[in-house]
Amino acid sequence: MRRARWLVTATLVLALAVIALGAYTRLTDAGLGCPDWPGCYGRLTPPAHATHIAEAQARFPGAEVDPFKARNEMVHRYLAGLLGLCVLAIFVVSRRLSRGRGLAATLLALVVFQAALGMWTVTMNLMPVVVVAHLFGGFALLSLLALLRVELSPDPLAPLPPVEPRLVRLLPLAWLAFAVLLAQIALGGWTSANYAAAVCAQLPWCEGGWSQQFSLRAAFSLPLGHESYEFGVLPYDARMSIHVLHRIGALIATGVLASLVLLCWRHALGACLRRLAVRVGALLALQVTLGLINVLAQVPLFNAVAHNLTAACLLATLVLLIRQLHASAGQRRGVPRPTLPAHAAA
């Protein structure tokens, strides 16, 4: 069990690195740094020397060979491949354990589908729908790994503290927060995939006259039939509408999540739930701050990567909070449910 926990913890850290590197790859416009898959210009390594660059250009005459972008893309692919092998190892090890088998099997299925999405991201030339699905897959992997790490924690059946009835009634609000956060992540991915992050440079909304050009229909129109979606294909009004929707979603998500954090803090009788609520609140505050910096500084690279990574951590932590609320609800009904030990909350 102890080795399994170490393996899951290492894989969790690796998943964070892959998510961060995926955001860096996308934000440096390196998503098509290698126009083929799984290799790079027909090789296992990106072209670095003049001879290799010339060979790559001759093999793919329609592509612009950029060694920097190719390197970013291949490093991301190799790290993602290592993550897949770690998930496979978790699945094999979990066969000998009494807990976590279902989560390990789900993780393996998800990482296989995530690999397919990575391939389609390249072969479909950054089609926005595929890019957003790939983003969701990475976030889901991180959340499931966090859940599995908790399932394998020591003393999973430690007694829960007495439960305040009002705390149990917070479950609908918690699931609402989960749904709202998923929608906001989807909007953020849609904004990035359509290159709409830097469209509006003013607060609180956009430049003057934006309301006359705002269109829900344009924001959610699916750009299909293009040879490539790199650098975006939507007109300004559609990108502006997407950007404004993301800001509106940020306001709604902040309100719902802040309410959940406040109520959990007020009614929690156990240290574990209180700590999880504090972590959700801290990540929410950080995410809002990073979002504001993105607008004011016109999407600086490091800040944009941090914004993406914080969103993934916020989702994973919210999932753990919901799990703890369900554990409390199960105890109140007299159903034995595993809980998250205070020293293992992560």
Full 3-state SS string of the chain: CHHHHHHHHHHHHHHHHHHHHHHHHHHCCCCCCCCCCCCECCECCCCCCHHHHHHHHHHCCCCCCCHHHHHHHHHHHHHHHHHHHHHHHHHHHHCCCCCCHHHHHHHHHHHHHHHHHHHHHHHCCCCHHHHHHHHHHHHHHHHHHHHHHHHCCCCCCCCCCCCCHHHHCCHHHHHHHHHHHHHHHHHHHHHHHCCCCCCCCCCCCCCCCHHHHCCHHHHCCCCCCCCCCCCCCCCHHHHHHHHHHHHHHHHHHHHHHHHHHHHHHHHCCCHHHHHHHHHHHHHHHHHHHHHHHHHHCCCCHHHHHHHHHHHHHHHHHHHHHHHHHHHHHHHHCCCCCCCCCHHHCC
Q: Copy the structure tokens of residue 227.
A: 């040879």
- Is 73 noted as a catalytic residue in this protein? yes
Among the listed residues 73, 164, 207, 230, the single catalytic one is 73
Which residues are known to be catalytic?
A: 73
